[in-house]
Amino acid sequence: MSKAYKMEYHSLDVVREIQESDGCNNEGILLVRDNTRQRLLIEKRFKLYDVWNGPAQKEIEILKQLRGHPNITSIEGWYLQDGSVEETKGSVWLDYCNQGTLSNAIDFLNEQDREFSEFEIWHVFAQLAEAVRFCQQGPIVDVFSSTLATWNPIYHLDISPSNVFLTVDHGCETMLPRVLLGDFGCSATHFSQLQNGAILAADSSAEVDKPFLCMWQNAEFAAPESPYFSLKSDIYQLGLVIYCMLAMRTWGMDADFDANLRKADQYSEELRGLVGACLEQDPAQRLNITQLMGRIASGLQAEQRRRWEQPAL
């Protein structure tokens, strides 16, 4: 795979605006055509503050670290120009996902008075969990080790149906869409949290963020320990996304959670139980990503057996 590279605005044409400036860290989302390589890309424009103060560069570096994984949106290029208000400009360009977001899919099925099949939910669960595993553990080295010693674990902190993307690759039109985790604007790296902790330990008045504390998480999808976070915070958000698929909704936790989970009895106990395990209130009791991947693999195998054993109509 070729590397992401610094791009120039003059090589791009805007196809349409996807989202106006209402994100916590963007000035708009656009669909653009890259005339140099004849492809469609998603452009995320950064706020001036984020170019001046570092969040834009942080997001770019995180995306570069994650680039190449099939279940994470791929950075294809970026542009950052720091200067006066008139001179400052910044964007990141990502691969285009042609089936929209999981939130779009939920809305579409609701309009059709349809639900996800259990196999479709396991499919999303498995691919989204693999994206989280890669963020936390990096490339699988061999069968005995999954974590590179130099890997900088990444906390996403903003997993929701609107940040889960779907795409159908050319030649795979009859298959389920590939699932990709995107929007790393709220993300943090493990090394940066350790560095901030060391700086504050040496000088408590230093102007750096407190480690393992994020004040701008999406309240509807934030884990119970928010504003504090750990690797298990992303497990909670992942479980909440799958709960949204079971309940056919695009918003997060509320008082009806237990009732909605029980009501979704068209789905197996394995699936509903695993969602509940991800949504454990105490992070110490919540599954870690390795445990979750193992249980998803077992659940997906069981669902495949059920599908094979169903009599043909």
Does one domain contain both 75 and 111? no
Q: What pLDDT, on the 0 to 100 scale, is given for residue 22?
A: 56
Whether omega before 227 lies within 30 degrees of 0, making that bond cis, reads: yes
> In this structure, are 206 and 293 located in the same domain?
yes
Taking alpha carbons only, the member of 224, 270, 272, 223 closest to residue 247 is 272
Q: How far is CA 287 from the centre of its chain?
A: 18
Pair 223, 115 in one domain: yes
**160: nearest Cα among 106, 79, 95, 212:** 106
Give the pLDDT of residue 11. 87
How much is the pLDDT for 256? 72
**Structural domain of 263:** 102-309
Please check whether residues 91 and 195 belong to one and the same domain.
Answer: no
User: Do residue 304 and residue 187 come from a single domain?
Assistant: yes
Closest residue by Cα to residue 45 from 15, 67, 68, 17:
17
> Order of strands, edge to edge, in the sheet holding 29-34?
5-6, 75-81, 89-95, 39-45, 29-34, 12-19
pLDDT for residue 312: 56
Last residue of a domain, one of 55, 75, 95: 95
**Residue after which a domain boundary falls, among 62, 79, 95:** 95
Q: What is the pLDDT of residues 86-144, one digit of tens each?
A: 888 999 999 999 999 999 999 999 999 999 999 999 999 999 999 999 999 999 876 55
Residues 80 and 137 in one domain: no
Give the model's pLDDT for residue 9.
86
pLDDT at 212: 96
Q: Report, as ranges of residue numbers, the positions in the chain whose pLDDT lies below 50.
A: none
- The answer to whether residues 167 and 260 belong to one domain is yes
Here the CATH number for the domain that contains residue 162 is 1.10.510.10
Same domain, 195 and 167: yes
Cβ atoms 73, 165 nearer than 8 A = yes
Q: Which helix (H) or strand (E) holds 136?
A: helix 118-137
Say whether both 149 and 26 belong to one domain. no
Q: How many domains does the chain have?
A: 2
User: 54, 69, 95: which is the final residue of a domain?
Assistant: 95
Answer yes or no: do 49 and 132 share one domain.
no
